[in-house]
Structure 1
Amino acid sequence: MSAVGQLKTVVWDAADIQGLADFYVAVAGLTQHYADDEWVTLTSPDGWRFGVQRALDHVAPQWPDPAHPQQMHVDFQVADIDAAAELAELHGATRLRDGESWHVLADPAGHPFCLSRGQVERPGVSGVIVDTGDPPALARFYSGLLGLEVGYEGPDGVLLGREGQPRVMFQQVAQYQSPQWPDPTRPQQLHLDVMIGADADAAEEAALALGATRLPGVGENWRVYADPHGHPFCLLTPVG
């Protein structure tokens, strides 16, 4: 399947970027590779890349309050969800909801995340979950953007990505409210970085044709867009 680019990084917003990075290193088994005053890079043993980006005016979500939505969250798979939740609480997480096969917690910056039970020896990443009022429509956009095939579609949402691919889930949320980045009162919370080729203009044209909107953000090798349901994402060209 053709694609505009490939998912490179899942990025959390936070005021205390090193504190949030240290949390995920301790709780989710991530490894820190780079840090400066504005950004921290982390990776998981199973190949996911995460970033923590400084947002001094970050307003934490208050899940499940639809007026303060999470927008996206990460699902981690662990062998023992009770032990993993207790460890997370020791490092500053807040328990939000318990389930039979998964627990929901908030990290120290307020971002909800899930700990789901799996047959794993060490923590892994099940996927990133995106809130929306129309999962099939948003899944079609990201299937074209990232070149991922539908792995599941049901009443609870649509999953993109098969074995060996990054998995992105689009879940149905009642009273969904989109972010309005860069308005700090309607924050993005998380965003996706998508790596493209060297031709940024061609990639932009393809993304806009799929339904993206250009937003007022640009850097040396990145441009900011919003998906059809308002979630910001970045298209990145290779450096050097």
Structure 2
Amino acid sequence: MTSESIGTLRAVALDAADHERLAVFYQEFAGWQRVPDDDDDWITLDTTDGWRLGVQRAADHVPPEWPGQERPQQAHLDFRVSSIDAAADRAVALGATVLRRNERWHTLADPAGHPFDVCLGADGPRTLLAGVMLDCPDAKTLSHFYAELLGKPVTYEADGIAMIGEDGAQPVMFQQVTGYTAPRWPDPAYPQQLHLDVTVADVSVAERAVLALGATRLDGAGPNWRVYADPAGKPFCLIWED
């Protein structure tokens, strides 16, 4: 896989009807810092270790119903912690809900209903974002699409699962889901739940490249962003300096 990229991962963005509440949850749960911004509908959080989380106000947001596909999660965040029980208890105190407990990880829903996992693996008290996992109908196909888009190598591939990028360097993971239901952005009945923002130098060049890889142009744009759907139907944005 080529190391050249069409763009670079700028942010992982979550939708929420109350984006302020969701931003405060992740600030307090993970210790992230808010980035000053003058956009009333968008809050950016800096993880201090390379990730950025965007929290986007979506007044008509419909939470997922995990684990089914009638209103699927579409994606989830994986956190590494030193104690999954302590992390889950802290998250619940901040407004999360426990969905399932396992020996090595617990699955919870944040205050907007987005599932996330707390997994064993962190040294010390820090809560680390290990990666973002995208649901899809074909993990191999989608991983190769994002490998080309983001210039990250495919570092793991097995039956129904794949990863691009190195551990500790903002990897993106992919899990194959039986009966996968794609978003139909901007239809709130089939919400995107989460999307990736990708920074590009020249949007015209980048658009031609992502369309050649199997993306679809969607009817959404702003002064410095355009919306596309990846081969699994998940929206993502190309962003450039205005």
Question: TM-score normalised to the size of structure 2?
Answer: 0.96
Contact 2:16–2:56 (Cα < 8 Å) also in 1: yes
Q: Which moved more, 1:188-197 or 1:158-167?
A: 158-167
Q: SS state of the match for residue 36, structure 2?
A: strand
What amino acid is the match of 1:4?
I
Cα deviations across residues 1-42 of structure 1 (Å, max 9, x unaligned)?
111101010000001011000000111221111354201010
Query: Where does 1:121-136 land on structure 2 (aligned, <5 Å)?
Result: 121=124, 122-136=126-140
Question: 2:144 maps to what in 1?
Answer: 140
Q: Which moved more, 1:2-11 or 1:114-123?
A: 114-123
Question: TM-score normalised to the size of structure 1?
Answer: 0.97
Contact 2:138–2:160 (Cα < 8 Å) also in 1: no
1:8 aligns with 2:2: no
Give the Cα separation in 1 of the matches to 2:130 and 2:139: 18
Question: 1:38 maps to what in 2?
Answer: 41
What displacement does 1:120 show?
Answer: 2.2
The partner residue of 2:183 within 173, 176, 179 is 179
Give the Cα separation in 2 of the matches to 1:72 and 1:18: 21
Give the Cα separation in 1 of the matches to 2:5 and 2:122: 32
Question: 1:107 maps to what in 2?
Answer: 110
Query: Where does 1:149-164 land on structure 2 (aligned, <5 Å)?
Result: 149-164=153-168
Cα deviations across residues 17-72 of structure 1 (Å, max 9, x unaligned)?
11000000111221111354201010113110010001000000001011010001
What amino acid is the match of 2:196?
L
Give the Cα separation in 1 of the matches to 2:211 and 2:175: 23
Give the Cα separation in 1 of the matches to 2:147 and 2:108: 29
1:81 aligns with 2:77: no
What displacement does 1:156 show?
Answer: 4.1
Contact 1:158–1:170 (Cα < 8 Å) also in 2: yes
Give the Cα separation in 2 of the matches to 1:3 and 1:22: 33
1:196 aligns with 2:200: yes
Give the Cα separation in 2 of the matches to 1:39 and 1:84: 26
Contact 2:43–2:54 (Cα < 8 Å) also in 1: yes
What amino acid is the match of 1:209?
A
Cα deviations across residues 126-160 of structure 1 (Å, max 9, x unaligned)?
10000011000111111111111011111240011
- Give the 4+ runs in structure 1 shifted more than 3 A: none
Give the Cα separation in 1 of the matches to 2:132 and 2:168: 15
What amino acid is the match of 1:15?
A
Mark the runs of 5 or more structure 1 residues left unpaired by the alignment. none
Q: SS state of the match for residue 2, structure 1?
A: coil
Contact 2:101–2:107 (Cα < 8 Å) also in 1: yes
The partner residue of 2:216 within 191, 213, 216 is 213
Give the Cα separation in 2 of the matches to 1:210 and 1:228: 8
What amino acid is the match of 2:35?
H
Give the Cα separation in 2 of the matches to 1:210 and 1:79: 39
Question: 2:66 maps to what in 1?
Answer: 63
Contact 1:93–1:108 (Cα < 8 Å) also in 2: yes
Question: 2:100 maps to what in 1?
Answer: 97
Give the Cα separation in 2 of the matches to 1:9 and 1:219: 17
1:22 aligns with 2:24: yes
Contact 1:43–1:49 (Cα < 8 Å) also in 2: yes
What amino acid is the match of 1:131?
D
Give the Cα separation in 2 of the matches to 1:237 and 1:164: 25
